[in-house]
A and B are shown apart, each in its own frame.
Chain A
Amino acid sequence: MKTPILDHLRQQFSEATLAHGTVVIETAPTELLTVARRLQAVLGFDLLLDVTAVDWPKRTPRFDVVYHFYSTTHHVRVRVKTRVAEDDPTVDSLVPLYGSAAFMERECHDMYGIVFRGNPDLRPILLYEGFTGHPLRKDYAKEHEQPLVRYRN
């Protein structure tokens, strides 16, 4: 792994840690857009790989929203994590910076009910219109069914 970019990251983000070859930055939801902008414009993290969330029902704030960035010049991955509460699971959307955020945020909204402020299109993508609840939350029972067409006897 190349060290100059790691040093550079540490200078920019004093709280950054390294875990299994990935740089991890934890940030407040309000800072997320600033961090992403700095990663993209200053440090060359041009590829937004992934957006997802982790549900910790017993913890407050309840959700981790997890982003993975990759730099096609430095070949380094960065994970940005931010915590949001159950009563207001809102983070800023990264759609203004990365086109790929659009679909991944839709999926995360489907599965965890995270609201991405500024994403113009949070329609269901893997689920269907009218689906209630967010299936990857830990309190959504695996056996719960809501078929679109009723089962025949």
Chain B
Amino acid sequence: MDMPVHSPVRPAFDASDHPDAVIVNIGPSHPATHGTLQVIAALDGEMIKQVDVHCGYLHRGFEKECESHTWHNLIPYVDRLNYCSALINDFAYCEAVETLMDIQITPRCRYLRTLLSEYSRIADHLTCIAASLMELGAMTAFLYLVMIRDHIYEHLAALTGARVTYSYGRIGGLAQDLPDGWLARLDEILVQYTEFVGRIHGLMDRNRIFIDRTRNIGAISTADAIHWGFTGPILRSTGAPHDLRKDTPYLAYAELDFEVPVGINGDNYDRYYCRMREMDESVHMIRQLVELLPDGPICVDDRRCTFPDKRLVYREIESLINHFKLVMDGPQVPAGEVYVAHEAPNGELGFYIVSDGSGTPYKVHVRSPSFVHMGGLHRLLEGYQLADIIPTFGSVNMIGGECDR
């Protein structure tokens, strides 16, 4: 009956490597880390000498599971990678498949995907900032930001039917068009966003406690950040304006006017400020996209991937067969491989997919920013205080679902 339970990890160091240090274990289920992450730290007083970062506690075999479902069936799965901005995962995955199938999405779909990507980015950054401020004791700031995020979630639920995991992207289009009054409500939320984020600036930006906890903590240089594979707000906070939306424009980003906010020091404060400014740029982009949004169909007219109209399925045999084949066999994706990356809120989210020409993927690999960031996290932690783990980890915004897949 008694089976010995082995430790799931083997630390990289032990007391013999650090005879003068105290070795403490933090996580994987620690109330102050919003993510299942284990950090084993060697402490000299309260100074961190060495850390060993372990992830994988949320590993659920995403890539293995993908190999036994049709291309369409993966959409709910990719939602659960970064569940703070599930739509961006959807769109990046769909674009990867569309690239292999050589499909050009419709203009309305392209603008809507861009709009919803930026909307998701706001929700993701709000979550990150709110959680990391709350961990430093700023409960009011947390409630202000999460209130706006909840408005966004409910607003997206009105569009997609789900609060967090939307399953809204489709290969070659979107699940459905905007409901009536959606854009009017969007405008209301953005006005409210501006007011409450303004209050956060007032509460936090020059707050002595906040600055003491974040300024020059977890700092990294541009060269180091690139060496360790950091992308997204962490790389930009070091002063390097690298953003895929500008550098390799996809969707409708080439037609939009926006700036890439950068930091100076690459510390926790700069990461906070970069995210705040990025949300403002996202709002600016959404306002332009609402003006630009064209009428027209949201799905391509291509029977290889788009489901036929339901009325036709019941009336004519061709559409019935088409529907049946799409559900049972999946869309037939030409053999080949492709790597498509979108600028997710945390950094470069890449899908490397390999098809053997059938209706199920041969391989789906996710280049998840969180996982790569965990590989360089020790650079941000070593040399700082034990208590700095919490704000630094919060500013990195590791999302377990995406990191561990």
Contact = CB atoms under 8 A, between A and B. Distances in A.
Contact of A77 (B65, B337, B339): B339
Interface in A32-50: 46-50
Q: How large is the interface on A (under 10, 10 to 19, 20 to 34, 35 or more residues)?
A: 35 or more
B61 A68 contact: no
Interface stretch (B6-14, B258-266, B297-305): B6-14
A136 B63 contact: yes
A8 interface: no
B375 A99 contact: yes
Interface stretch (B51-59, B119-127, B325-333): B51-59
Given A111-B63, A142-B68, A68 B339 contact: yes
A96 to B, nearest CB: 11
Given A99-B375, A102-B375, A148-B5, A54 B354 contact: yes
Given A68-B339, A98-B229, A135 B61 contact: yes
B352 A66 contact: yes
Interface in A68-84: 68, 70, 72, 75, 77, 79
Contacts of A148: 5-6, 8
A105 B371 CA distance: 12
Given A47-B226, A47-B231, A52-B352, A75 B371 contact: no
Interface in B360-392: 362-363, 365, 367, 371-372, 374-376, 379
A77 B54 CA distance: 29
A124 interface: yes
Given A68-B350, A99-B229, A142 B3 contact: no
B338 A103 contact: no
A54 B363 contact: yes
Nearest to A141: B64
Contacts of B354: 54
* Residue from B67, B247, B365 with most neighbouring chain A CB atoms (10 Å): B365
B372 A104 contact: yes
A135 B61 CA distance: 8
Nearest to A135: B64
Given A19-B336, A68-B350, A128 B9 contact: yes
B228 interface: yes
Contacts of A140: 64
Main SS class of interface, A? loop
B367 A68 contact: yes
B99 A72 contact: no
Contacts of B5: 148-149
Contacts of B341: 49, 77
Interface in A14-61: 19-20, 22, 46-50, 52, 54-55
A129 B7 CA distance: 7
A49 B8 contact: no
B226 A103 contact: no
A100 interface: yes
A20 B12 contact: no
A99 B362 CA distance: 29
Nearest to B96: A20
A117 interface: no
A66 B9 CA distance: 27
Contacts of B375: 99-100, 102-104
Contact of B56 (A77, A98, A127): A127
B68 A99 contact: no
A100 B64 contact: no
Interface in B125-166: none
Sort A-B residue pairs by CB-CB distance and give the 3 closest, nearest first: A100-B229, A103-B375, A128-B8
Interface of B: 3, 5-10, 12, 54-56, 59, 61, 63-65, 67-68, 99-100, 226-229, 231, 240, 242, 247-248, 336-341, 348, 350, 352, 354, 362-363, 365, 367, 371-372, 374-376, 379, 404-405
18 contacts: A20-B100, A49-B372, A52-B365, A54-B362, A66-B352, A68-B350, A72-B226, A75-B248, A79-B339, A100-B227, A104-B371, A104-B372, A124-B56, A125-B54, A127-B56, A142-B61, A142-B67, A142-B68
Given A49-B348, A135-B64, 12 more contacts: A20-B336, A47-B229, A48-B229, A54-B354, A66-B352, A77-B339, A98-B227, A104-B229, A107-B371, A130-B6, A149-B3, A149-B5
